[in-house]
Structures are given as C-alpha cells and as structure tokens.
Amino acid sequence: MMAVSFKRSGRLHYLDPGPYNPAVGTKVLVPTDAGPEVAECIWAPQWIDDDIGGLPVCAGLATEADLARDSSNRERRAEARTVARRLVREHGLPMKVIAVDYLAATGALTVYFSAPHRVDFRLLVRDLTARLLARIDLRQIGPREEARLLGGIGPCGRDLCCSTFLKDFEPVSIRMARDQDLPVNPMRIAGACGRLMCCLKYEHPLYVKFRERAPRLGAEVQTPQGAGTVVGYSVPADQVIVQVAETGASCACPRASVCGSRQAYEAIPGREREWPPGR
C-alpha cells in the first residue's frame, strides 16, 4: 500500500502500487472518474499485515507530458479562482469563494463557495461563463467542508483531521463531551470550522465502555489500601480514584482491582493468579 496527495499537506489517498515502487516525492498517476491525475507520493509502498482490498491501483509514474498537463490545470484553477472572486465583489454577493476544481476531460469548472444563506448567482454564472469560456458549476458548502478544502492547524497543533485522513463527517454531539468530562464550552470544544471537534468521537466509545464496567461515583469499594469511596475516574489509564476511609487519602486503583466480581473470584482457593477464568 502507498499514500499520495494531490497537494502538499493535503488529504491522503491510499493506492495499490501495483508493479511500481515510487519513492517519497515522486509524481505518480492516480485513476479518477475523469482520467488519471498527477499526485505526489507521500508514503512509499510498504507491506501491511491487514488484507485491504478495493484500493485503486497506481496508473504509473507521471511523464513530462503529464506534469505539463497538471501544471496547466493548476494555472487554469488559479485563474478561475481569481476571476470568480473579482466578479463576486463586482456583483456585491454575500458569498466567499473557497476553491475551484477543473476537469480537463470535460472542460468544466466547479466553484465551491460558502454563504450564510441561499444566493441568487444566475448573473454571476453568466459572467463567469463569458470570461472563462467554460461550463460553470457553483456549489455551496458548509463550514466543515470549507475547513476540509482550506486546511489548517487544529487546537492540538496538528493538521486538521478533515483535510488529511477523514473520509466522512460523522455526527458529533455535546453529549460526547459530557461523557468525557470535558468543559462544555463552545470555545474549548469547537474546531477551526466553528463546529464541535470531530476528535470528540475518537475516544467516546472507550469512555462509554469504561462507565458500564466501573463502579459508580460514591460507591463503596475495597482496595489494597482499605475500604473507600469512588470519587473519580482516570479513563485513559483504566483506573478508579478512591478516597480511603481510614486515612482520607486518595489513591488510583486499576478498575479491575475494585471490581466485586473479580474480588469474589480471587477469594476462591487456588484462583488468585488466574483472571479472567480460562486464561
């Protein structure tokens, strides 16, 4: 498997290298619906343990003609983006041109824009068609799609997930932040797009599973330090924070060590070292 990107620091696309073995930085051809397109190799071909099928096969190494065609397409997109932004200002439309896509096979230009509401852009399409001499398709996108196309750096200091590896936008709710004990503050849990961060969903199943198995807050449990009360959790470490009744000190114990079913099992003679049963 290998990974390529159509633009530097852009979204990664995975390919089956086929008979080719390009090095990092090599320009290769990627099969698309509109024909082979030039992309840059980001990860050199490597063997993986998992059997992944259905990957598109690399169409070969880019030739000088392919590179010239790709450069011409990039210039065409840049020209269309500049003309579109100028005409939007001239028409006084409340919209923002985000990106332009060009298909050389059909000669069509797709202009992606964002706007707070629906926009009547019929006159804009007419002027764009006259200026660029091409078929124009205007598509309005939302904040998340805008962040994906523009890219950027997230609060974690890394490239935005949506512009690098996320394929689809999955639903994210404020409930996921509450389940992870995160501050329910829009300024703290919002991404570059202004919506809830997609990464809130990454660890949410871990927190849900942990709470299903861990003793509830306020529950009386037995620990190696003595009896105590559950006062908190450390989910990433799979630990329960217990306040020991005798000393009043707090200690972090593995969740399994305060589990009643495990303690009952270990009380059986000869079972101290065997957990779970059968291992």
Domain final position from 117, 141, 165? 141
Does residue 209 lie within any of the structural domains?
no
Reported as half-sphere exposure (CB side, CA atoms, 13 A), residue 66 has a value of 17
- The pLDDT confidence band at residue 251, using thresholds 50, 70 and 90, is confident
Q: Residue 254: is its pLDDT beyond 60?
A: yes
Does residue 58 lie within any of the structural domains?
yes
- Give the pLDDT of residue 115: 92
Residue-wise pLDDT tens digits, 75-128? 999 999 999 999 999 999 999 999 998 877 778 899 999 998 888 899 999 999
Does residue 166 lie within any of the structural domains?
yes
* Domains identified in the chain, total number: 4
Kindly state whether residues 83 and 133 are assigned to the same domain: yes
Q: List the CATH number of the domain containing 235.
A: 2.30.30
Answer yes or no: are the C-beta atoms of 256 and 243 closer than 8 Å: no
Q: Average of pLDDT values for 26-43?
A: 88
Domain final position from 62, 78, 102? 62
Give the Cα separation of 184 and 162 in Å (integer): 22
The C-alpha angle with vertex 256 and arms to 255 and 261, in degrees rounded to 5, equals 125
- The pLDDT confidence band at residue 268, using thresholds 50, 70 and 90, is very low
Residue 31, token pair as written in the block: 């099969």
Kindly state whether residues 84 and 52 are assigned to the same domain: no
Does residue 55 lie within any of the structural domains?
yes
Give the Cα separation of 34 and 16 in Å (integer): 19
Kindly state whether residues 191 and 224 are assigned to the same domain: no
Residue-wise pLDDT tens digits, 190-235? 988 889 999 999 989 999 988 888 888 888 888 877 888 888 888 8
Model confidence, pTM? 0.72
Give the Cα separation of 62 and 27 in Å (integer): 5
Does residue 279 lie within any of the structural domains?
no
The boundaries of the domain holding residue 220 are 215-266
Kindly state whether residues 197 and 241 are assigned to the same domain: no
Does residue 15 lie within any of the structural domains?
yes
